[in-house]
Amino acid sequence: MALGLYSRDGSVTRGGRAGVVCFPETTDEVAACVRIAVAHGRAFVPRGAGTGLAGGAVPCDDPVVVATTRMDRIHEVDVERRFAWVGPGVVNLDLTRHLTGTGLHFAPDPSSQQSCTIGGNVANNSGGPHCLQDGVTSAHVLAVEVVLPDGEVVVLGDEEGRAVGYDLRGAFVGGEGTLGIATRICVRLCEDPPEVATLLLGFARVEDAAATVSAVIADGIVPAALEIMDQRVVEAVEPFVHAGYPTDAAAVLIVELDGLPAGVAAEVERITAIGHDHGAGTVRVAADEDERARIWKGRKSAFGAIAVIKPDYYLNDTVIPRTRLAEVLAKVYEVVDERDLIVMNVFHAGDGNLHPLIVYDAREPGVMERVLEAGEEIVRISVEAGGVLSGEHGIGLEKKRFMHLQFTDADLVAQDRLRRAFDLHGLANPAKVLPTGASCGHVTSLGRPPEGMWV
């Protein structure tokens, strides 16, 4: 029955069942797992912490699940040259904690950073609130040691971040486990900023918060982070973190600024003014590190906190042009209202990366159909507004049915060719990402797995 625990990740998708779960501790052991699986014609699925939100680590057809959680050693930190070699199972936040005192940190900070692995970040090319300024994971991976789908071990890229020949490192990052398994990763480390200021602005209308975001960027400021949470999200997280979020505001905008003290002070003033111009009812600057930490904890708990409202969630991850935020958001609320559902919006506003979180109780008959319909409609609206299907969570199983909304057949064939170049037999995390091949997995409630799931 316990194999059932490996039939899911953080998303609502459940697939088939894991055939075997392996916990390798070294690159050689990973290579052995892969070789044995492939020799028996079995697929293999890499898995980190299983916090993925698109079903990427969900197994299809009894594959060998290769869990990297025990490959959690930080092998080397070079403070001078600002890089670190880490195992794929190292938890994102553990690396930054390990660097305390060196004046360096690992920049990609997905909201799940306390749990997710760096291997998973690489595979999904994950982003995070602070990636607005620093760039997503691919900008922070210098080299990767990979066990290819035939068991061969290669190193892509190097410590200087120079690609020799084709930049296969670049191709591998974001491969969602379909191009091989990362077994050691050389990440770039960033310098801690000398000064940080975090502002919390409350708005009576979500559109005003969105308009403020555009105005800030138009003003030439690139904050370290620009995040919006709507009232429902704020109401769900405030009791957990006690950050003092204004629960009466329709939307809250978090702005983080960093750099030299004088510059930060000037930007705080400027943003306060822009906020007021756009109808901000409240503007607060976090007084100390504790208050800052609470504000971020609230933001990063958002997906987890929804059970306070409903026990299940379905999440989209589309990216739209920042200038159309207000208009697209209004449509999202409309689509969801029409279907008598509840949506909570919490997103990386600076990147235009929306995360409409449809919350529901799967035990309600017929609700799933309405949820999926609304989900599809949101993707359609986003793509029509000139956006893309996924900002950072990946395609996995859950979003591949939308690939045709964004890509032409020719695009998809080209992507399939790249995949085949790495994985001739189609055994590396099959049925994921590309809408070709057999499908598996059902988007279903976690609370109501299909009959027989557990036996």
Partner 1 sequence: MTSPTTPGPLGLDDHGLAACVQCGLCLPHCPTYRVTGDERRSPRGRIALMRAVEWEGAVPDDEWHEAMDTCVGCLGCETACPSAVPYGRLISGTREAVAAERRPPLHLRVGLRLLSWPGLVRWGSRAIGVVQRLGLLRRTGVLPARIPLRAGRSRTDGKGASRGDGATGEVVLFTGCVMDAWQPEVHTAVVDVLDAAGIGVERSGDRVGCCGALHEHAGLVDDARAHARRVVAAMAGDRPVLVDSAGCGAALKHYGDLLGTDEARAFAARVHDVHEWCAADGRVQGLLAGLAPSSGPDPSTEGGVPVARPTVVVQDPCHLRHAQGCHGSVRTLLAPVADVRELDDEGLCCGAGGAYQLLQPEIAGAARDRKVAAVHRAARGDEVTLASANPGCSTHLAADRSLAEAGVGVRHPMELVADAVRRSGNGTRRA
Ligand X SMILES: Cc1cc2nc3c(=O)[nH]c(=O)nc-3n(C[C@H](O)[C@H](O)[C@H](O)COP(=O)(O)OP(=O)(O)OC[C@H]3O[C@@H](n4cnc5c(N)ncnc54)[C@H](O)[C@@H]3O)c2cc1C
Footprint of partner 1 (CB under 8 A)? 1-2, 4-6, 8-10, 23, 49-51, 67, 69-70, 72, 89, 91, 93-94, 97, 100, 112, 114-116, 237, 240, 301-308, 311-313, 361, 363, 446-449, 453-455
316 touches ligand X (CB under 6 A): no
Contacted entry of ligand X, partner 1, none for residue 435, CB cut-off 5 to 8 Å set by kind: none
Contacted entry of partner 1, ligand X, none for residue 96, CB cut-off 5 to 8 Å set by kind: none
Query: Which lies closer to partner 1 via its Cβ, residue 151 or residue 449?
Result: 449
Q: Are strands 44-47 and 64-67 parallel, antiparallel or unpaired?
A: parallel
Contacted entry of partner 1, ligand X, none for residue 141, CB cut-off 5 to 8 Å set by kind: none
Among residues 57, 86, 325, 385, which is the contact residue for ligand X, using CB under 6 A? 57
Q: Are residues 64 and 37 in contact, defined by beta-carbon separation less than 8 angstroms?
A: yes
C-alpha distance across the termini of the chain, in Å: 6
- The contact pattern for ligand X, residues 149-188, with x = CB under 6 A and - = no contact, is ---------------------------xx---xx------
Residue list 120-139, contact with ligand X (CB under 6 A): 120-121, 123-124, 126-128
Q: Tell the smallest beta-carbon distance from residue 337 to ligand X (Å).
A: 25
Say how far apart CA 404 and CA 418 lie, in whole Å: 18
DSSP H or E stretch at residue 356:
strand 356-360
51 touches ligand X (CB under 6 A): yes
Say how far apart CA 44 and CA 292 lie, in whole Å: 42
Owner of token pair 């698109």: 54
Contacted entry of ligand X, partner 1, none for residue 186, CB cut-off 5 to 8 Å set by kind: none
* Nearest alpha-carbon partner for 66 in 92, 29, 39, 95: 29
Residues 6+ apart with CB under 8 A from 26: 71
Query: Which lies closer to partner 1 via its Cβ, residue 23 or residue 333?
Result: 23
Contacted entry of ligand X, partner 1, none for residue 213, CB cut-off 5 to 8 Å set by kind: none
**Percent helix, strand and coil across the chain, each to the nearest 5:** 35, 25, 40
- CA atoms within a 13 Å half-sphere pointing along the CA-CB vector of 319: 13
Say how far apart CA 308 and CA 273 lie, in whole Å: 35
Query: Which lies closer to partner 1 via its Cβ, residue 25 or residue 61?
Result: 25
Residue 317 phi/psi, 5-degree rounding, is -145, 40
Kindly state the tokens that stand for 352: 């235009």
* Nearest alpha-carbon partner for 56 in 235, 166, 178: 178
Contacted entry of ligand X, partner 1, none for residue 440, CB cut-off 5 to 8 Å set by kind: none
Query: Which lies closer to partner 1 via its Cβ, residue 314 or residue 402?
Result: 314
- The contact pattern for ligand X, residues 289-308, with x = CB under 6 A and - = no contact, is --------------xx----
Contacted entry of ligand X, partner 1, none for residue 212, CB cut-off 5 to 8 Å set by kind: none
Say how far apart CA 245 and CA 229 lie, in whole Å: 10
Q: Are residues 141 and 157 in contact, defined by beta-carbon separation less than 8 angstroms?
A: yes
Q: Tell the smallest beta-carbon distance from residue 405 to partner 1 (Å).
A: 27
Contacted entry of partner 1, ligand X, none for residue 410, CB cut-off 5 to 8 Å set by kind: none
Contacted entry of partner 1, ligand X, none for residue 16, CB cut-off 5 to 8 Å set by kind: none
Q: Are residues 21 and 70 in contact, defined by beta-carbon separation less than 8 angstroms?
A: no
DSSP class per residue in 14-55: E-S--SEEE---SHHHHHHHHHHHHHTT--EEEESSS--SSS
Query: Which lies closer to ligand X via its Cβ, residue 292 or residue 299?
Result: 299
> Rg of the chain's alpha carbons, rounded to an integer?
22
Say how far apart CA 73 and CA 335 lie, in whole Å: 46
Contacted entry of ligand X, partner 1, none for residue 382, CB cut-off 5 to 8 Å set by kind: none
Query: Which lies closer to partner 1 via its Cβ, residue 409 or residue 451?
Result: 451
Among residues 15, 50, 246, 430, which is the contact residue for ligand X, using CB under 6 A? 50
Query: Which lies closer to ligand X via its Cβ, residue 51 or residue 267?
Result: 51
3-state SS, residue 237: helix
Among residues 15, 24, 46, 246, which is the contact residue for ligand X, using CB under 6 A? 46
Interacting residues toward ligand X by CB under 6 A = 9-10, 45-53, 56-57, 68, 88, 110-112, 116-117, 119-121, 123-124, 126-128, 176-177, 181-182, 303-304, 392-393, 396, 429
